[in-house]
């Protein structure tokens, strides 16, 4: 009887361990999260994986980011990604390519809003991440674009990082030659900004 009890306890511990390790973070983004122009291991997403492990947070990171992706593309891809990975947290880092194409801010907001709703319907906690744009689209467009992210955060009551490049944008030492993508030196600063918003959403570690 004692052996059976021990076996049951052992199996229960394995199941609990498996459950704790099954937590995941899905990232649906564009080139900023795909690591355009740098080695993959230097990108902020890879640095996030390292930080989670170092702080004993049992999360698998699934990076479904694609360079050049728009909110329309992200919206079309999201249902299958949610169904496949069943993430606990979904980071939505999109909109920059829409902005570079001068897509109407109302359309960007509509797509992002649908992505947030799909994420919540899948019992996943969304984190919305925005970005800054070059100043060549006019002050009016830029103001409407930048207002998208905090507005959506208020509407859906979710965590928002208005600009992932706030600490690196405009600094040539931290940016690639295109002036749009951060270089390897800028990646830790982006992670720092993301972590500030992401950490409160994580299940506390047991350490």
Active site residue 57: no
196, HSE (Cβ side, Cα atoms, 13 Å):
11
Separation between Cα atoms, residue 118 and residue 100, nearest integer Å? 25
Let me know if 31 is a catalytic residue: yes
Q: Are strands 24-29 and 89-93 parallel, antiparallel or unpaired?
A: parallel
Q: Would you call 156 a catalytic residue per the annotation?
A: no
Active-site residue (options: 139, 173, 178, 207): 178
Kindly list the distances between the CA atom of residue 114 and the CA atoms of 119, 130, 156, in Å, as whole numbers in the listed order: 9, 16, 11
Q: Is the dihedral of CA 101, 106, 111, 115 positive or negative?
A: positive
Across the beta sheet with 24-29, what order do the strands follow?
A: 60-63, 24-29, 89-93, 125-129, 159-161
Six-digit token pair at 122? 């899948």
Please identify which of the residues 30, 31, 98, 124 carries the catalytic annotation.
Answer: 31
Start-to-end Cα distance in the chain: 33
Choose, from 57, 98, 163, 181, the residue flagged as catalytic. Answer: 181
- Tokens matching residue 177: 């030659």
CA gap 152, 157 in Å, rounded: 8
Catalytic residue IDs = 31, 178, 181
């Amino acid at each position: 009887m004692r052996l059976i009890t021990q076996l049951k306890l052992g199996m229960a511990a394995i199941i609990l361990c498996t459950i704790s390790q099954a937590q995941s973070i899905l990232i649906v983004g564009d080139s900023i999260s795909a690591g355009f122009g740098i080695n993959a291991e230097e990108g902020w997403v890879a640095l996030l994986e390292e930080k989670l492990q170092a702080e004993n947070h049992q999360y698998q990171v699934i990076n479904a980011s694609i360079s050049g992706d728009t909110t329309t593309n992200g919206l079309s891809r999201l249902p299958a990604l949610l169904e496949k990975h069943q993430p606990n947290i979904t980071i939505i880092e999109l909109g920059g390519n829409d902005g570079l194409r001068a897509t109407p801010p109302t359309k960007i907001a509509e797509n992002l809003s649908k992505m947030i709703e799909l994420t919540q319907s899948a019992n996943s906690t969304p984190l919305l991440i925005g970005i800054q744009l070059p100043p060549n689209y006019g002050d009016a467009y830029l103001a409407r674009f930048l207002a998208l992210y905090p507005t959506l955060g208020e509407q859906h009551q979710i965590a928002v990082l208005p600009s992932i490049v706030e600490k690196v944008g405009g600094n040539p030492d931290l940016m690639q030659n295109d002036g749009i993508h951060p270089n390897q030196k800028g990646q830790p600063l982006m992670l720092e900004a993301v972590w500030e918003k992401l950490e409160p959403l994580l299940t506390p570690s047991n350490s």
